């Protein structure tokens, strides 16, 4: 098969996979063309590369009853997916019933449909691409009845009890953790170290979760105007979850100590929540996130993430946050990203620093510029010397949440997809910056010239210190 043709098809179909809930913006003719390309091209590839496999294709897709269907009946480059896939993607050609016996229009075979295996790159959370993962792990409990839920999200909570088996009498903080694309609540709880820290320091956790019917890659729709504005869509759904947990007296949440963090799409959604409901949060921590107001649709979202992300002045970025609500108070912010991130351009960390230092009325020059563990660490203080914005540039790390597995007090996490052992536990140091924990850690060191090549600022001439 022509490689150029295949690559062209993939480049056209990838953006379409980002969101299903808003796919009505595409014309039905163009949408059907994409679907046909997704199925026809791999079928042609199989037919051209292996005639005998082509025979098996027709047998496997004919719809003829065959209780003896064996693994060899599935041609190379294809997988048998459960008929459940048609619930998520009903317009896929294999899901369409017809009297025709041609492969493209045959009905599912015994509750199965034959799909090209590369589709899993576009729809990783559709069975069987997801490996049958459950949507929630052992420690988490489903949160229900949290309002009108206009964003159609799921929610899970974790509220550890004290050693006596009852909730503490002291009001406790609440941390909202937003998973990244292709992740779920259960793959972003103990892997990131948050459950471990919640157990140790006794705070509650809220894990909003995207649904597959909203976004094929399980990304929060941070780039859609229906979801990234105050009192609309997914932003409102997350606020309703928080309100429900605050109203639950058995959880005993301190409403003045609510925090939000997240990775990638969850990091961008963290910025959405800080901008649209700033009065709700005492602190935020986007990881590999995007400045608020960078995108207003799917196409501009790719621009924000790509080789030439939006470059605005600090004042322009700040105005976008201030315009998102009528609040005059804003949360403290801890910003994280790997210097070798290949998914979200690391320049976005600089833009986020500019945005939030402007919002909080801080100087663009850091008060502290040092190295700590595997990172370059910047701290921006207010006039009283209180750290209000900090940024960690994790040296050499790719796209993910940095963790540091081990028994040390400041270590945490378990490596997983986009949960990366990077020599520093972001969850621990975010919690420390927010004031959730108070421990003594090794002091950072002043960098020598050339340390940590990815840097938006020249090193400041300041004394070393953790800044938090």
Number of H helices, E strands in the chain: 12, 14
d(CA 415, CA 401): 10
d(CA 151, CA 263): 19
- How many other C-beta atoms are found inside a 10 Å radius of the C-beta of residue 436? 21
List strand residue ranges (DSSP E) for 221-289, in order. Answer: 253-263, 283-287
Look up 264 and say whether it is catalytic: yes
Strand partners, 338: 394
Instruction: Please check whether residue 115 is in contact with residue 85, taking contact to mean a CB–CB distance below 8 angstroms.
Output: yes
The alpha carbon of 319 is separated from its chain's Cα centroid by a whole number of angstroms, namely: 25
Residue from 398, 395, 391 nearest 377 by CA: 391
d(CA 310, CA 317): 10
Catalytic residue among 187, 237, 264, 426: 264
Instruction: Please check whether residue 334 is in contact with residue 285, taking contact to mean a CB–CB distance below 8 angstroms.
Output: yes
b (16+ CB within 10 A) / e for 188-197:
bbbbbbbbbb
Strands 172-178 and 253-263: parallel
- How large is the angle between the packed helices 51-61 and 28-49, nearest 10 degrees? 130
Q: Annotated catalytic sites, by residue?
A: 264
């Amino acid at each position: 098969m022509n490689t150029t043709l295949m690559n062209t098809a993939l480049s056209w179909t990838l953006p379409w996979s980002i969101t299903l809930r808003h796919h009505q913006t595409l014309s039905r003719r163009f949408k059907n063309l994409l679907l046909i390309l997704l199925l026809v091209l791999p079928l042609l590839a199989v037919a051209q590369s292996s005639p005998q496999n082509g025979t098996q294709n027709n047998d496997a897709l004919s719809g003829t009853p065959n209780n003896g269907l064996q693994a060899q009946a599935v041609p190379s480059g294809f997988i048998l997916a459960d008929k459940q896939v048609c619930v998520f993607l009903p317009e896929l050609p294999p899901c369409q019933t017809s009297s025709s016996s041609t492969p493209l229009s045959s009905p599912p075979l015994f509750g199965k449909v034959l799909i090209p295996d590369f589709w899993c790159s576009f729809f990783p959370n559709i069975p069987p691409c997801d490996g049958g993962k459950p949507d929630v792990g052992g420690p988490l409990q489903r949160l229900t009845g949290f309002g009108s839920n206009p964003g159609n999200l799921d929610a899970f909570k974790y509220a550890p009890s004290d050693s006596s088996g009852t909730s503490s009498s002291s009001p406790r903080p609440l941390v909202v953790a937003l998973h990244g694309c292709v992740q779920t609540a259960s793959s972003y709880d103990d892997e990131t170290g948050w459950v471990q820290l919640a157990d140790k320091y006794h705070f509650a956790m809220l894990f909003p979760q995207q649904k597959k019917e909203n976004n094929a890659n399980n990304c929060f729709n941070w780039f859609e105007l229906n979801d990234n504005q105050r009192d609309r869509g997914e932003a409102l759904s997350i606020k309703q979850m928080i309100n429900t947990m605050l109203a639950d007296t058995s959880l005993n949440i301190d409403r003045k100590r609510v925090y939000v963090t997240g990775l990638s799409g969850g990091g961008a959604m963290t910025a959405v929540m800080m901008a649209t409901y700033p009065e709700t949060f005492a602190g935020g921590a986007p990881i590999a996130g995007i400045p608020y107001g960078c995108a207003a649709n799917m196409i501009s979202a790719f621009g924000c993430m790509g080789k030439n992300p939006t470059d605005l002045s600090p004042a322009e970025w700040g105005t976008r946050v201030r315009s998102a609500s009528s609040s005059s108070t804003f949360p403290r912010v801890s910003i994280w990203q790997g210097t070798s991130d290949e998914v979200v351009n690391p320049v976005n960390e600089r833009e986020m620093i500019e945005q939030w230092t402007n919002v909080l009325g801080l100087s663009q020059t850091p008060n502290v510029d040092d190295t700590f563990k595997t990172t370059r660490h910047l701290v921006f203080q207010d006039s009283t010397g209180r750290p209000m914005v900090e940024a960690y540039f994790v040296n050499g790390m790719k796209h993910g949440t940095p963790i540091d597995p081990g028994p040390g007090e400041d270590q945490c996490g378990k490596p997983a997809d986009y949960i990366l052992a990077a020599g520093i536990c972001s969850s621990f140091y975010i919690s420390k910056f927010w004031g959730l924990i108070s421990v003594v850690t090794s002091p950072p060191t002043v960098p020598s010239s050339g340390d940590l090549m990815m840097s938006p600022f020249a090193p400041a001439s300041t004394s070393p210190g953790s800044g938090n």
